[in-house]
Amino acid sequence: MTMPRSAGRRAAPPAWRKPVLMGAPVVLLLLAFLVYPVGQLLALSVYNGEGFTLAPYKQLFSSSLYVTVLWITLKISLATTLVAVAGAYPIAYLISIAKGPAKSRLIFWVLLSFWTSFLVRAFAWVIILGRNGVINGTLMSLGIIDRPIDLLYGFGAVLVGMVHAMLPLAVMTMLAVMENIDRTLPRAASTLGARPGTAFWTVYFPLSLPGVAAAAIMVFVSAIGFFIVPALLGGRRETMITQLIIDQVQQTLNWGLAGSISVLLLTVVLAVFVLYDRVFGFSTLTGETAGATHNRDTAMRRLGGRVLGLLGSASDALLGLFPRRRPHGTGEKPAATLRVLVWAMLGLISLPAFLMVPLSFGNAGLAWPPTGFSLQWYEQLLQSPLWMQALTRSLVVAFGTGLLSMAIGVPAAFLMVRSRMRGKGAMLAFILSPVIVPRMIIAVGLFYVFAQMGLVGTILGLVIGHTVVAVPYVVMTMTAVLRNYDTRLDLAAQSLGARPLAALRHVTFPILGAGMLSSFLFAFATSFDELTISLFSSGGLSATLPKQFWDEVTLQVSPVIAAVSTGLLVFVAVLIYAADRLRRRSLAS
């Protein structure tokens, strides 16, 4: 009864105020700590403190080194993309058709790999492929070889490590599209006379293509800016372009050259994205529109259709060679061969991290097989002030990043979902841009700007840097959560007398709680595992956990690493399990 009166007395705020208040923080953050630093870095490549110069570019193209490295980078990224996408497809497919607990189990193992630190996973391959590693140790004890073979520091090792690093990302990206494919479509094809192979290749596969494309570009762009795997597993001939940037910044302090290499890298990435947009359209990246690709080129389409038709007939002919085990397999239960294949792959991608567990309890160092039992590495770890300080710092930074990302990202997500303002698509693209810009360029740019502001080595600096790369994930997950939220519930609350803020507190937030928690965890985990920005901005002394890990594995390898890896693995597993339980409890209530 009092509502209309008080509302009438106050002057209505201008309509533009709310969207500006909601969108301004994220825009300001990205302008100050993404656009400005990256711009600075790019400017440094043509400005040497006195005036315009192209000297860095002359240096870049005068020696064949940089072009060669770029070529190697592209080659490794492309190979990684092909293998990771091909490997991810059956996994994502099985997850999309699985139900109930089987599905949760599959997702758990993919997520466990996804969230297990890149460092842990890459380092595990050092252990597996090393001269005293798992493979050599096993082969020698079986008497198959007399002396260790060189598996590390080559193209093969880098490819294995890269694919392993990128496969979970590919699965999760593809899955977003595959989950939206109507499951009755392959069934309909079957009732219309299509054999299983034909139904798959002519109906399911074309519909899953946007997911394949999205996964491919995500993997390619991540791979091109990756340095952990080539640094740990590659030899000199597998140097990737980001490693050159690190060298320029950390060793020669040649900012101009670092800037020009960054320009090169950024150009390649942007070219790839433009190409992608031309062919598939960006909307497919969010997994929204399965099958809504524009079919512009009809000749291409017809050719594609014919190829898929042939693939279908071929696989049907192949399937026809086997006797039908169940006389009526129409997708009620995924085929046994597919399940075996997928679980074998999941086992393979999970195994490396788990190898660290027995090593961490052994007393023979990092050689395989582990012998004896001791807790000495854990004791060393707990008594090391370096590790303990790094752990504390990482937790504080990750927590701060989580809070700041939520404070900035949640209003932005509300704005993206609820408002009908113009330029929303452009704004979303801007918010998501930190995912697309290679992390190394952001990191170097931030280092340069932080150095001027005195933020290097500070917790605040790390929180800001990590928030820049974590906020897109918060906006993405919260947008998805909010899309499923019935806004009429707010109106109902308001019609029952709740003012907007009260409605938010009593209705909106309690319902969205689980989604918000998972967004927070996403930001937390992103920061907790972040190495690139920390590599520079943590300064020499105040390392985060990944930075400490990196220093240890690049400078002096000690079995303490195995203990840290085991700890991280357990931490991630508990986190995923807890998040899943929370999500289910909120769904049940």
Partner 1 sequence: MSSSSLTVQGLAKRYGDFVALAPTDLVVADGEFLTLLGPSGSGKTTLLSLLAGLVPPDEGSVRIGAQDVTYAPPYERDIGVVFQNYALFPHMTIEENIAFPLKMRKVAAAEAKKQARAALEMVHLPHIAGRYPRELSGGQQQRVALARCMVYKPSIILMDEPLGALDKKLREHMQLEIKRLHREMGTTVVYVTHDQEEAMTMSDRICLMNAGRIEQLGTPADLYFRPRTLFVADFLGESNLLPAALGTRVGDEAEIRLGSDGIPGRALANGQDLPAGSAVRVMVRPQNLGVARPAGDGVPGVRGRVSDVMVTGSLTKVYMEPLDRALPPLVAAFPTRNEADAIRIDDVLALSWNSRDAVVIPDAAASAGAAKAA
Binding site for partner 1 (CB under 8 A): 182, 184-185, 187-196, 198-199, 203, 206-207, 290-293, 295, 309, 326-330, 332
Q: Which secondary-structure segment (H or E) carries 241?
A: helix 241-247
Report the interhelical angle of 385-418 vs 17-30 (nearest 10°). Answer: 140
d(CA 230, CA 246): 13
Nearest distance from C-beta of residue 316 to partner 1, angstroms: 10
When the beta carbons of 330 and 452 are compared against partner 1, the nearer one is: 330
Are the beta carbons of 92 and 178 closer than 8 angstroms? yes
What is the C-alpha to C-alpha distance for residues 499 and 494, in angstroms, rounded to an integer?
Answer: 6
To partner 1, the closest distance from the beta carbon of 204 in angstroms equals: 10
Q: Nearer to partner 1 by C-beta: 326 or 585?
A: 326
Contacts of 126 (CB under 8 A, 6+ apart): 133, 152, 232, 233, 553, 557
Give whichever of 97 and 443 is closer to partner 1, judged by the CB atom.
97
Please identify, using beta-carbon distances, which residue of 48 and 313 lies nearer to partner 1: 313
Q: Minimum CB separation from partner 1 for residue 42, in Å?
A: 40
Please, what is the minimum distance in Å from the beta carbon of residue 190 to partner 1?
A: 4
**Sequential DSSP letters for 425-464:** HHHHHHHHHHHHS-HHHHHHHHHHHHHHHT-TT-HHHHHH
Distance CA 515, CA 417 (A): 15
Smallest gap from residue 429 Cβ to partner 1 (A): 24
Q: Please, is 138 exposed, middle or buried when counting C-beta atoms within 10 Å of its C-beta (0-12, 13-18, 19+)?
A: middle
With beta carbons less than 8 A apart as the criterion, state whether 94 and 338 touch.
yes
Which residues have a Cβ under 8 Å from the Cβ of 557 and sit 6 or more positions away? 126, 366
* Alpha-carbon span 524 to 60, nearest angstrom: 38
- Residue (11 or 299) nearer to partner 1, CB: 299
Closest to partner 1 by CB, 328 or 422: 328
Tell me whether residue 327 or residue 385 sits nearer to partner 1 (CB atom): 327
Supply the minimum distance, in Å, between the C-beta of residue 321 and partner 1.
16
Show the DSSP H helices in 255-384 as ranges: 255-279, 298-321, 336-361, 376-383
Q: Which residues pair with 76 in a beta bridge?
A: none
Q: How far is the CB of 331 from partner 1 (least distance, A)?
A: 8
3 is written with which tokens? 């509502």
* Minimum distance from residue 383 beta carbon to partner 1 (Å): 55
Q: 185 or 459, CB closer to partner 1?
A: 185
